[in-house]
Amino acid sequence: MIYLSMTLSKIFRYTLLAIFNALIVYAVPLALAFESWFFLSLILVIGILVNVVYFTDRFQPMKWILPGMIFMLSFVVFPAVYNSYVSFTNWSTGHILTKTQAIGILEDRVFTPDDQKGLEFEMYILQDLDLNFYYVANLDSENILFGRAVSDDEIFTTSYATHEPSLFINGEFSTPDGYYQLSGKEQIANSTTLQELSLVIDKNTRAQLYKISVFGASTGRLTSTSQLYTYDEINDALFNNATNTLCPVVKDNFECEGKEIEPGWRVYVGGENYSKLFSSQRIRGPLGIVTKWTFQFALLSVIFSFAVGLLLSMILNKDGLKFQRIYRAVFILPYAIPAFVSALVWKGLLNPDYGVINSWLGPLYEMLDVEPVKWLKTKESARSAVLLVNTWLGFPYMFLITTGALQSIPKELIEAAKVDGATGIQSFWRITFPLLMVSISPLLIGSFAFNFNNFTLIFLLSGGGPPIIGSEVSVGWTDILISFTYKLAISGGRGNLFGLASSVTIIIFALVLIISAISFRYTKRLERIYGNI
Amino acid sequence: MKTNKLRFIVFLLMFSLVAVACGGDTADDAAEAPDTTEAPKETLAAPATTAPPPEVIVVWAEEKVANALDPLVGAYEAAAGVDVEVVVYDFGAIRTDVQTAGPAGEGPDVFLGAHDWVGELAANGVVSPLDLGSVASDLFDVGVTAFSYGGEVYGFPYATEAIAMFYNADLVDSVPTTWEDAKAACDAAGTELCVGAPGGGGGGDAYHNHPFVASAGGYVFASEGGFDASDVGLDNAGALASAEYLDGLVKNGTVASTDYGGSMTAFQEGRSLFWMTGPWARGDASAVNYGVGLIPQFDGNAATPFVGVRGAMVSSFSDKQVLAQSFILDFFATVEVQQAMYESDPRLPATKSLFAVVEAADPVAAVFAASAANGIPMPNIPEMGSVWGPFGDALLIIRDQNYGTNEETGVTVSNASDAMKLAAEQIRNAIAGG
Amino acid sequence: METSRFFNWVKEYGWRHLIALIFVTFAVYPILFVATNSIADFANLTNSKLIPDALTLKHYKLLSSDPLVPYFKWLYNTYKVALIAAFFNVFLGTLAAYAFSRLQFKGRRASLLTLVIVQMFPSFLAFVAIYLLFFQISDIAPFMGLGTHIGLILVYLGGSIGFNSWLIKGFMDTISPSLDEAAKVDGATDFQIFRRIIAPLSRPILVVIFVITFIGIYSDFILAAIFLKDKNLWTVAVGINTVFIDDFNADWGVIAASSVIAATPIAVLFIFFQKQITGGLTAGSVKG
């Protein structure tokens, strides 16, 4: 029986593997065709892994872990790698395209000699029996120009347009024999072709289709016969046809007579972003303040929410307590509200002038004869507010897990301690708490890591907080590293600085990694000491 | 033995499946051949038959605008034989996505956005210059300027907006021309707050507060034919004087320390006599009987609010450049479409002809327009990104009277001038160091 | 006698009730605020009162009948995506946790730790990478590309192992190995042990992980906003943020109403299943 089932499972496994490989084989050429390099590398890696792991009987543990790992590789590892790559580039405003794309955009630019600027005229599009296109440009009564519409490579070899007054009879356009006039709708249907064609008027001028109209006659414009720029591969420079100058490459832009031509492109800049972070005075100063606060914020958030959650679960952890179920449900309730809504609500509650918090504390303020606290407007009040709200947001989760953890501690241990004469406090600290920490500490570490990067709360509640006066970059008292990164990214000197922001992200990760690694080593010790119950 | 045979069969199965996949692949590849628009086979009379699949014009717009545009495109679709796909997008997301999606080949053909994106988009090469041609004569200059960058125009402006001053018509007849008179009016009316101007109460708002510092000689970037990032005017004599004047207004209670929400509520509940904000707030303001007037003058100069302009732009990664341009100029720019747009998202039309119609019918709009006429467009250069933070922070300090010394940085801001100088310095450093 | 019984009660239970009630207020007040504001006329964030002056159902009406706001579709989408993603998340995490708990191999702890730490990478700018990746996927397999629910669910599965597996593994560790041994003697394979013994016994932790994952996905806005452009596919978070939260102002009444509608099923579940949800973190809490 078992023999048969083993073989069955093998068949099952191989069939699945076969189907999987079939899919991979199908997808690879498609990925190549679409030049989807990210996707291609991903499925190759996954394909190899799956085959290696599932083909043989070895790698038993990996068979269980790989399914989840595929997703982690695709959506956590890959973005992280990409992020690292970006941090070594100059990705910022003006430099988001590849060099090829930038050249493409620049080469598309046309220019019009000054004396012909602003001229707009009617254009008619004709087609002959061989399906060639012809343009008629009605510049003025002396210049009703007719000729074949040619693509860019034929511009300098084709004959010039000729003046054909016969095309206009009594001011109305009449289609000559042998030709068919395209209506607006038909022009649109062929627009992708037509937009590449021009009517050559003389050595330096051509007419191009400017606006296809479905409600009237289409219009055209005059432009120079050459594009504004031509890329010179040999010299790796851009040739400006209007001014006849060469614009060489300077790092990540072409420069014409000292002026940068936009768009530029992405280049690899090595560790420049990282050195900028550490050497730039502008950034270093606030970086210190923000880092310190980030640690404080994450640590205190965990401590406060854990304390409240634990307190509540301990209070409710009493047999015979009435309404236990209702209390428990109420305490998890904040968890059900989407976080961004909660942040907004609290922002309103904390409003110094009209918010409820200050109205309630009104009598207290009067009693102590102090000014109402200007929540979110001063450094201390903003930081306190942020911690308060984060505690509100976090304690249900802590309550949830501590209740679970408490229930796993055998009552016998507590009883035994009581018998030995321990007080409630003693038995808590010596028995309950350590046992709790064995199972909870990883969660606390996780909560710390989460709050270290808790962008949503800071952004929605305080927007980074009251501004730090005198800092060289715009930063606030409640900004944490990640919101500071965001501000850097969007408000860097000349636009966005994604490369720089990426490097800060990597550094944040490095920090979190080091702290977590250390903390997990500590919990290993805990596990060893307190073991499994 | 049995195992081996079984294994063999299984391998066979596997490889045959793979082979099928390969085979199926090549068949697929053949069918995958690109859609070339086949030129219609024709007689002279009319083109025959196999009409190529209609072109699709993809338009990205925010909610309200998309909802206005969607019902109108049918006419163009029929006349032009194309499909117009209007995609609803989160407004801010349009700006960022056009830059990621465009180069990746997934971007729109046309997108509707704000003029202050132009610098960034043009520098990144994702927006095409748009030749306005004859349409330009019917457009207000401010709209065209707003969409100009580096000597080229990049969009067709369709709506402008600027802030003005709402007033509670039950308590006062109009907005006085000077701030002193405004204060007097408030005292006479006995309201709790005088002018509710967003940008205080912890919520820095450089946009709303621009008139306070830029009406009498101050400016963000010098704007002679395009904005000049090397010339920051937030700490010149005019700006400093204006800032000190603002400080005075805050101190004597003319301008309250409220953020946007606070000023709105105060106005709605009749606790503030004036509310300094823009046309989008008309719905909210209707909680009371309201009127709109020009913002009081500064030193005899008309108040200079920031003007925001919305427009239609063409993505440079679209393969239908002429078609996209034609869509905008031949269809979107027509008065019918502009009118429908105005009716569903009432900002001020940027086209002169439509504006004349609207102005006659809606005197409130006329006031906003007059206010905008005194304004300047927000600078659309990428460097503007480094302005909002420091500028807003400085104004916040003045509005909330948060003067003092920061122990951590040792910097003292003891008056409004200090705040403005600090902001200007931060901006210059950001631009230089970025 | 009566008084001493009363004092006894206070000592045993009374003080607990007192503290609990204080925190009930702390926990519930903002929620009450949301609820009452959902029926308030002229609801405004900054100065709303707990008991509004004028009551109206117009916010709810808007959500249920405005053709431009397919709110209930959004609700359906949110629950659908969150439930499916949470389910598979737990499934994948449990598989991995079983390996870390039951199968002996070198570097068990280290590799599990690596997974956990890798997951902590700030996802902030990673969204650009995911966006680009899914552009490419959209070309080849459009049914799971950008703008699809499937694609979104797949991304959420990126967090399935790592932290979740750590927690589940911790729970599994407390299930006595003698059960495995007994089953092995009977000739059961690893998978059978997993399916018949370990997984069922792990139910308490699986429920907890499911709830945590579900809430995380249901609240997510950033990733969903990147993926879903078609209005009819939005989740509640995306819809509310796009339509009702503006540059300057938020339509607070509608936001409150939408939160009430979205959160009610979850709240109800919490109330009725709180026992299962606050189940133990170790098998020791499973009686028998």
Intra-chain end-to-end CA distance of chain A, in Å = 39
Mean of pLDDT values over B324-341: 88
- 3-class secondary structure, C247: coil
DSSP state of A114: G
Residue A179, strand partner residues:
A128
Residue C79 has a pLDDT of 92
pLDDT of residue B44: 40
Interchain contact, B79 vs A96, CB within 8 Å = no
Indicate the pLDDT class of residue B14, thresholds 50, 70 and 90.
Answer: low
Exposed/middle/buried for residue B298 (C-beta within 10 Å: 0-12, 13-18, 19+): buried
Tell me, what's the pLDDT at B306? 92
C123 CB neighbours in chain A (<8 A) are: 76, 79
pLDDT confidence band for B26 (50 / 70 / 90): very low
Which residues are bridge partners to A381 per DSSP?
Answer: none
Calculate mean pLDDT across residues B289-316.
91
Rounded to the nearest 5 percent, the helix, strand and coil shares of chain B are 50, 20, 30
Burial-class residue B42 by CB neighbours within 10 Å (0-12, 13-18, 19+). Answer: middle
Buried b (16+ CB within 10 A) or exposed e, C97-111: bbbbbbeeeeeeeeb
Distance CA A65, CA C196 (A): 19
- A122: CB partners within 8 A, 6+ apart: A137, A138, A217, A218, A219, A220
Assign 3-class secondary structure to B268-291.
HCCCEEEEEECHHHHHHHCCCCEE
Residues of C in contact with B90 (CB under 8 A): 225, 241-242
pLDDT-flagged residues of chain C (< 70): 1, 43-49, 246-250, 279-288
B chain contacts of residue A253, beta-carbon cutoff 8 Å: none
Q: Which of the 8 DSSP states describes residue A476?
A: B
Residues of A in contact with B411 (CB under 8 A): 469-471
- pLDDT, tens only, B41-98: 333 444 444 556 788 999 999 888 888 888 888 888 888 888 999 988 878 888 888 9
Backbone angle region of B91, left / alpha / beta, with phi > 0 → left and psi within -120 to 50 → alpha = alpha
For C190-226, b/e burial (b = at least 16 CB within 10 A) is beebbeebbbebbebbbbbbbbbbbbbbbbbbbbbbb
Q: Running along chain A, 533 residues long, what does each successive block of 10 average in pLDDT?
A: 64 86 88 83 90 83 89 90 89 86 87 76 86 85 84 84 82 83 86 87 84 83 82 85 86 84 87 82 80 93 94 83 81 85 84 78 83 82 93 90 79 78 75 80 84 87 79 82 82 73 86 84 74 49
C242 and B63 within 8 Å at the Cβ level: the answer is: yes
Q: CA-CA distance, A36 to A40, in Å (whole number)?
A: 6
Same fold, B56-161+308-377 and B164-304+382-433: yes
CATH match for A284-530 among 3.40.190.10, 1.10.3720.10, 1.10.8.640, 3.40.50.970: 1.10.3720.10
Closest CA to A387 of A306, A304, A288, A464: A304
* Backbone torsions φ then ψ of A480, nearest 5 degrees: -100, 170
> Average pLDDT of B179-198?
88
| pLDDT classification of B31: cutoffs 50, 70, 90 | very low
| pLDDT for B154 | 93
Task: Select the residue of B25, B54, B103 nearest A26 (Cβ to Cβ).
Answer: B25
Q: Which CATH architecture has domain C70-285?
A: Orthogonal Bundle (1.10)
Between the alpha carbon of residue A469 and those of residues A49, A281, B202, B257, C13, the distances in Å are 54, 16, 14, 19, 51
Is A247 within 8 Å of A240 (Cβ atoms)? yes
Among C17, C282, C285, C286, most A C-beta atoms within 10 A, so best to mutate, is C282
Phi, psi of A7 (to 5 degrees): -65, -40
Residues 6+ apart with CB under 8 A from A269: A88, A89, A90, A499
Q: Which pLDDT does position B30 carry in this prediction?
A: 36
Task: Give start and end residues of each alpha helix (H) in A35-120.
Answer: 37-55, 60-72, 78-87, 99-107
Residues B96 and B129: their CA atoms lie apart, in Å, by 19
Tokens of C122: 């700030």
Produce one character per residue of A36-56: b if its CB has 16 or more CB atoms within 10 Å, e if not. bebbbebbeebbebbeebbee
What is d(CA B116, CA B387) in angstroms, rounded to the nearest whole number? Answer: 12
Q: Hey, what amino acid is at B341?
A: M
CA angle A242, A247, A252 (to 5 degrees): 135
Task: Report ipTM for this prediction.
Answer: 0.86
Per the CB < 8 Å rule, is C125 touching A501? yes
Placement of tokens 């007080």 in the chain: A423
Q: Which amino acid is at B118?
A: V
Name every chain C residue with its beta carbon within 8 A of the beta carbon of A443. 167
CB A368 within 8 A of CB B193: no
- CA A348/CA A385 separation, integer angstroms: 12
Class level of CATH domain B56-161+308-377: alpha beta
pLDDT at C280: 63
Rounded mean pLDDT of B19-38?
40
| Closest residue in chain C to residue B103, using alpha carbons only | C132
Look at residue A404 in the predicted model and tell me its pLDDT: 79
Region class of B217: left (phi > 0), else alpha (psi between -120 and 50), else beta: left
Distance between CA atoms of B309 and B318, rounded to whole angstroms? 23
Q: Do B104 and C46 touch (CB under 8 A)?
A: no
> What's the pLDDT score for residue C47?
60
Give the CA angle between residues C165, A446, C112 to the nearest 5°: 35
The model's confidence at residue B36, banded by pLDDT at 50, 70 and 90, is very low
Contact across the interface for B18 and A22, Cβ inside 8 Å? yes
Kindly tell me the sign of the dihedral angle through the C-alpha atoms of C161, C162, C167, C171. positive
Q: Domain spans of chain C?
A: 70-285
CATH of domain B164-304+382-433: 3.40.190.10
Question: What residue of C is the nearest CA neighbor of B286?
Answer: C42
Residue B278 contacts residue B350 (beta carbons within 8 Å): no
Q: Which helix (H) or strand (E) holds B113?
A: strand B110-114
Residues belonging to chain A = 533
Query: Residue B38: pLDDT band by 50, 70, 90 thresholds?
Result: very low
Amino acid at C230: D
β-partners of residue B166 are B275, B292
C-alpha to C-alpha distance for A398 and A403, rounded to whole angstroms: 8
Burial A74-100 (b: 16+ CB within 10 A, else e): bbbbbbbebbeebbbbbbbbbbbbeee
